Structure 1
Amino acid sequence: MGTTLVYGQKNNTIWMDDLSIRTFSEGIPAVLAKTSGSGEAIRMKGITYSRGIGVNGTSVLSFLLNGNASAFSAVVGVDDMGMKGLPYRFYVIGDRKILFESGDMKWGDQPRMLNVNLTGIKRLGLLVLVEQGITKTYSNWADAKFIMKDEQMPLNIPNTDERIILTPVAGTQPKINSAAVFGARPGNPFLYTIAATGERPLVFSASNLPDGLQVDAKTGIITGKVLERGVYTVTLKAKNSSGESVKQLRIKIGDTIALTPPMGWNGWNSWARAIDQEKVMASADAMVKMGLANHGWTYINIDDAWQGQRGGKYNAIQPNEKFPSFKQMTDYIHSLGLKLGVYSTPWISSYAGYPGGSSNLEHGFFPDAVRDNKRAFRYIGKYSFEKEDAMQMAEWGVDYLKYDWRIEVPSAERMSVALKNSGRDIFYSISNSAPFSNVKDWVRLTNSYRTGPDIRDSWLSLYVSAFTLDKWSPYGGPGHWNDPDMMILGNVTTGSPLHPTRLTPDEQYSHVSLFSLLAAPLLIGCPIEQLDAFTLNLLTNDEVIAVNQDALGRPARLVGEENGVQIWLKQLENKEYAIGLFNIDGYTKTPQSYFRWGDEKPVSFTLDLTKIGLKGKYTIRDVWRQKNLGEFEGTFNTGIRHHGVVMIRLTAHQSTKH
């Protein structure tokens, strides 16, 4: 920081790399201070810069200046470690006006110096545009600095929009919220919990259960084993002093599990490497105490950093010292009616530097030298241990495996076979950035496959992760789900210490709506015990969840985009439909669209039902408000907030023919 005196006013030089720069970034890979996106020194055209910010991919940096800045300067260009032949474009945008545009720049081009007058500018955006989906596209804002008035500093764009709770509070009467279908393999342990709201105590029952299953009347937990293949129609009941709820459940005993997307929690975006047994058990307790389990939330998934050395009767990965009683922990989670997930990788070292599923040593020992140089061991070793690890997981009672990182088909197949032969139904999820070219293999081998990079709590990341999934939609369905990654609600640790999600309230409604329409896995990515009333309400709307858990299992399709509004249509069972109308406001269409300027307004939108193939009369219901809006034919008009959504469910009138 430096100080100058201009016309009696003290001006401060604020270097951008002295700021907590990650808090200003909406990019997907992390931005790095005084370092290029590759982790090396900032270097362009052979010149090394000691100061600046390195970015990777499309980068969005937003600053609140409130007229307290007079200038911004930097040297911009492609890092010497960047991608050759790819066009990069740099923008400086103030209050919606483009103040600097680089034009196309490529690797090897001379860096460009810029000095922009910021007098009177309230909001500033720094944007680097490159083709989405390409990695290692390193570029730089070298020697980047602001000239600020007096003692002022660049600030974060505020996220202070009112957090309006739309969903009514559940009543005292019982209501069963479980999905209408559940799959298990013959002879494997069966665990299913009847999810129900209503004043406790509830008394549960399940009539016409197949031989081998029994229900606990106090908890609604159904356990046992079913030997005979078939489809069994079971009548579930939940009763209290206020009334009774009845729902039909189809139990399908066969080769396919995961007939609806999984719902649960993953610990990475909550605790990252700091996860331990105490935090996992506290999360399971919170899943029940906060009432999430009553709405169908089931999985408690441990991500990376639980793994210790190989051992035990299978010579499998054992828990490290942070998990002293792994089997007892698993049994406790099952006693709550919940399920447990773990993480592994076919690599020698996991992403976080813990033992993986292969080794260059015959017995799989994990030396300290590997941990100390983990990046060098992110590959598949000479010896693989899929069968051993799968058998150990089954013996512990594990219900879910997240298999990381950028899995290729042979590794996916080896673990798929091992899990199916383990004697337990273990949901199999591969992560991340599964190549679309192999989608038919992912459908054949896995229960879910990550369709893109790790998600971050920004609209850019949500857009890339979810709003671009239409091409994947035909492949998702019962037993194999398109996975855009964890949910970015509540307090998250994506790229910086634990902080409230940077999605606006309207963006959060869009987030949950689109994930539900896409039939995506719903995995909470924040500490459950820290959920506030607004976030808990987002996660416990049973009509929204029902769209996600619909037994037809058909992901929504993008059927239109008009006037900045995307129309996503999902066919449901019983010839019903769910529609999401998302006001994306032309996002990605202009450089200005990547930023929030504080003057955004709702839009009025008219949906032409006939254009999307829905002819006739429909009863339309607002699923967030759980309120019927009336009968409509031909068109439906509504207001939609900026980056917000109107999510509706359509039931055909008796006179409507399909």
Structure 2
Amino acid sequence: MNKIIIFLAVLGLHTHSFAQTKSIWLDDLKIKSFSEGIPAVLGKTNAGGDSMKINGKLYKHGVGVSSTSVLSFFLDGHATEFSAMVGVDDKGVKDLPLKFYVIGDKKILFESGEMKLGDAPKPVKVSLLGVKRLGLLVTIEENGFNRSYSNWADAKFIMKDDFIPQTMPNTDEKYILTPKPDKKPKINSPKLFGARPNNPFLYTIAATGERPMNFAVKNLPQGLSLDSKTGLIAGKVAQKGTYTSTLMAKNAFGEATKELKIIIGDTIALTPPIGWNGWNSWARNIDREKVIASADAMVKMGLNQHGWTYINIDDAWQGQRGGVFNAIQPNEKFPNFKEMADYIHNQGLKLGVYSTPMITSYAGYIGGSSDFADGKITDSIKNNKRAFRYVGKYHFEENDAKQMAAWGVDYLKYDWRIEVPSAERMSAALKNSGRDIVYSISNSAPFSNAKDWAKLSNTFRTGPDIRDSWLSLYLSAFTLDKWASYGGHGHWLDPDMMILGNVTTGSELHPTRLTPDEQYSHVSLFCLLSAPLLIGCPIEQLDDFTLNLLTNDEVIEINQDPLGKPARLVSDEDGIQIWVKPLEDGSYAVGLFNIVNFGKTPESYFRWGDEKSANFALNFNKIDLKGNFRVRDVWQQKDLGNFIGSFKTNIRHHGVIMLRMFPQNH
């Protein structure tokens, strides 16, 4: 018997191969949890939810994917084989070449070559003996194609025991860099704030430090008043103009001051909105209690004292059309809507809601248009909601804007397949509503109309819905340099919500799949881009690491800088991206990102567990910064010294070194 075992070992076979094996169809797994792409991943159908067909042949088993697709599996040596038939779905895009890869522990086990619509499916059968980590990859050129459907048909694992394929481990240390705030007061709210004449004004002085704390303001414009205990400034200013006030916060340990420039004019959202959105926390299960709990948690966790302001309800709050304005009314999950808004405002926070110019929203609720003059939703629409995702004959923007203003809404997320006429109508309606409502248009704004989005909206989505993966983060944020010139005061680039904490992106509530290093990169780049910062997880569930990520005032200050210029990508060489953002005081925010040539090889799409950091020398001349600079690490809130010409550092895999560089006189 021992001789047989030795003989099998020499042949590279495992003695337990005689044990009974087990097949697992890919579509029997919770496949969405394995997907790191942005579009839908569906089991037993194509990515559009239709029958899975390749070159006319129907498949009952398999996984349908779209666009560039990354499926990651942790097998830990328990699988023996993977097999499938791969090809472009019959409802895919003509003449669009795709490539399929199977990669095990950094080795390409299968490569399809280019495949197009109409090509015969190709068989995959690879040994997985000893493979710990497996990646299934489909690549295309990312040019915004819809219906770029491809299929892993009849895909299955052969397992040698009862082990079930797992998602990739994400157990790296959640290291905390930011020191805790001092007991002395520090004012963290924006230095710049805009409002329209005679509209309700609400600005809260956010300040860290030991409580109790008292607030004061010098040179407050006529029509505004301050609550000295809460720091809430409210009222109305009639006269257009620029007003410079001095904010003051005082406690038993000291006093802090900060200059605030108030501009009463035509432009609001002079700094990017910063707050919370409920979709990636609760999706369709949002209700009044969860919104109130989020506002309470914003205060209890102290996020409000770092400038976090908005509590935004996403899709699924809408009921029927009615009321004094014949506007969208809340459904049964949101009783006493005005009372809820008042409660949020009384805490110094602001309220946001969701709508769409389509007849029905993406979650199937009533929208801002109708094919009927009264705007009502009929039973036929309710029973076939997906068929009514288009803009109807009759429009109700003015009705809905007036109702939002009456409730005290401060933010509108407007979500549809964006086109200019609908964007214009709601933009005008909000401006005429009598209230300053930040206008955020959502769902892949076409770049060809970038000037229109900057003119019409306060924030505009630059891509599709984000997912909690490095691939999604990379496509959503690291590719935005071409958009940067269109971002600025009152019109900010929006890469979507933040993917930190516990999120529901694409599947049930789960911890973000970003590594700690990737989370630092995520927050850093969003702040460098002057993007809206909208927390996408349940606030009350924040752990110490995530809370620390969200409460670094020096990082947030870069996002809220009054100059309002998004960072530009100034270098992308040897796996390191360098983004530079000029700041109002003449300093520069610089992000050094170790992207490790992501996307340039099939293997680079996956996390293999042996990732390494990179040594890097920042050459100041190469990024057009000349001379002597005081360099500060903003995550550690620590000066690193004065440097002439260059600066050396070590950057973790998919991590960041975020600097603030202050020019020094020679």
TM-score, normalised to structure 2, is 0.97
**Within 2, Cα distance between the matches of 1:25 and 1:395?**
42
- 1:23 shift after superposition: 1.3
Q: Are the counterparts in 1 of residues 192 and 261 from structure 2 also a CA contact under 8 Å?
A: yes
Question: Are 1:88 and 2:98 counterparts?
Answer: yes
Give deviations 1:413-452, integer Å, cap 9, x for gaps: 0000000011110000000100000000011100000000
1:465 to 468, 476, 480: 476
**Residue aligning to 1:304:** 315
Question: Are 1:112 and 2:112 counterparts?
Answer: no
Q: Secondary structure at the match of 2:20?
A: strand
**Residue aligning to 1:474:** 485
**Within 1, Cα distance between the matches of 2:531 and 2:169?**
30
1:8 to 4, 11, 18: 18
**Residue aligning to 1:34:** 44
**Within 1, Cα distance between the matches of 2:383 and 2:583?**
51
Q: Return the letter of the residue paired with 1:91.
A: Y
Q: Are the counterparts in 1 of residues 17 and 160 from structure 2 also a CA contact under 8 Å?
A: no
**Within 1, Cα distance between the matches of 2:67 and 2:622?**
36
**Residue aligning to 1:219:** 230
Q: Are the counterparts in 1 of residues 632 and 641 from structure 2 also a CA contact under 8 Å?
A: yes
**Residue aligning to 2:371:** 360
**Residue aligning to 1:264:** 275
**Residue aligning to 1:550:** 561
Question: Are 1:79 and 2:89 counterparts?
Answer: yes
2:390 to 379, 383, 397: 379
**Within 1, Cα distance between the matches of 2:99 and 2:341?**
51
Residue 215 to residue 16, structure 1, CA distance change in 2 (3 Å): same
Q: Secondary structure at the match of 1:269?
A: helix
**Within 2, Cα distance between the matches of 1:406 and 1:484?**
16
**Within 2, Cα distance between the matches of 1:169 and 1:81?**
54
**Residue aligning to 1:48:** 58
Question: Are 1:494 and 2:505 counterparts?
Answer: yes
**Within 2, Cα distance between the matches of 1:298 and 1:150?**
51
Question: Are 1:446 and 2:457 counterparts?
Answer: yes
Indicate the percent of aligned positions where both proteins have the same amino acid: 70
Q: Return the letter of the residue paired with 1:453.
A: P
**Within 1, Cα distance between the matches of 2:212 and 2:417?**
46
**Residue aligning to 1:67:** 77
- 1:30 shift after superposition: 2.3
Report the number of matched residues. Answer: 651
Q: Return the letter of the residue paired with 2:655.
A: G
- 1:6 shift after superposition: 7.5
Moved more, 80-89 or 116-125: 116-125
1:180 to 179, 187, 191: 191
2:138 to 128, 141, 151: 128
Question: Are 1:202 and 2:235 counterparts?
Answer: no
**Residue aligning to 1:148:** 159
**Within 2, Cα distance between the matches of 1:355 and 1:405?**
13
**Within 2, Cα distance between the matches of 1:368 and 1:634?**
69
**Within 2, Cα distance between the matches of 1:122 and 1:307?**
47
**Within 1, Cα distance between the matches of 2:465 and 2:158?**
35
**Within 2, Cα distance between the matches of 1:159 and 1:588?**
20
Give deviations 1:361-420, integer Å, cap 9, x for gaps: 111111132122111000111110001111111111110000001221000000000000
Question: Are 1:437 and 2:435 counterparts?
Answer: no
Q: Return the letter of the residue paired with 1:78.
A: V
**Within 1, Cα distance between the matches of 2:332 and 2:367?**
16
Question: Are 1:21 and 2:31 counterparts?
Answer: yes
**Residue aligning to 2:438:** 427
2:111 to 91, 101, 106: 101
**Within 2, Cα distance between the matches of 1:325 and 1:368?**
26
1:326 to 328, 334, 337: 337
Q: Secondary structure at the match of 2:554?
A: helix
**Within 1, Cα distance between the matches of 2:498 and 2:168?**
22
- 1:12 shift after superposition: 1.3
Residue 214 to residue 107, structure 1, CA distance change in 2 (3 Å): same
Residue 122 to residue 207, structure 1, CA distance change in 2 (3 Å): same
**Within 2, Cα distance between the matches of 1:545 and 1:7?**
56
Q: Return the letter of the residue paired with 1:416.
A: S
Q: Secondary structure at the match of 1:98?
A: strand
Give deviations 1:221-279, integer Å, cap 9, x for gaps: 00000011111110000000000000000000010100000000000001111111111
Question: Are 1:535 and 2:546 counterparts?
Answer: yes
- 1:522 shift after superposition: 0.2
**Within 2, Cα distance between the matches of 1:348 and 1:562?**
47
1:344 to 339, 349, 355: 355
1:409 to 404, 420, 426: 420
- 1:114 shift after superposition: 1.2
**Residue aligning to 1:157:** 168
Give deviations 1:525-582, integer Å, cap 9, x for gaps: 0000111100000000000000000000000000001210100000001211000000
- 1:150 shift after superposition: 2.1
Q: Return the letter of the residue paired with 2:55.
A: K
**Within 1, Cα distance between the matches of 2:162 and 2:362?**
41
**Within 2, Cα distance between the matches of 1:521 and 1:368?**
38
- 1:152 shift after superposition: 2.3
- 1:65 shift after superposition: 1.6
**Within 2, Cα distance between the matches of 1:200 and 1:370?**
53
Structure 2 stretches lacking a partner, 5+ long: 1-14
**Within 2, Cα distance between the matches of 1:323 and 1:7?**
58
Q: Secondary structure at the match of 2:390?
A: coil
**Within 2, Cα distance between the matches of 1:7 and 1:450?**
52
Q: Return the letter of the residue paired with 1:654.
A: N
2:525 to 499, 514, 525: 514
Q: Return the letter of the residue paired with 2:196.
A: R
- 1:7 shift after superposition: 5.1
- 1:303 shift after superposition: 0.5
**Within 1, Cα distance between the matches of 2:243 and 2:105?**
61
**Within 1, Cα distance between the matches of 2:454 and 2:304?**
28
Give deviations 1:443-482, integer Å, cap 9, x for gaps: 1100000000000000000001000000000110000000
Q: Return the letter of the residue paired with 1:332.
A: Y
Q: Return the letter of the residue paired with 1:415.
A: M
- 1:490 shift after superposition: 0.4
Q: Secondary structure at the match of 1:90?
A: strand
Q: Secondary structure at the match of 1:346?
A: coil
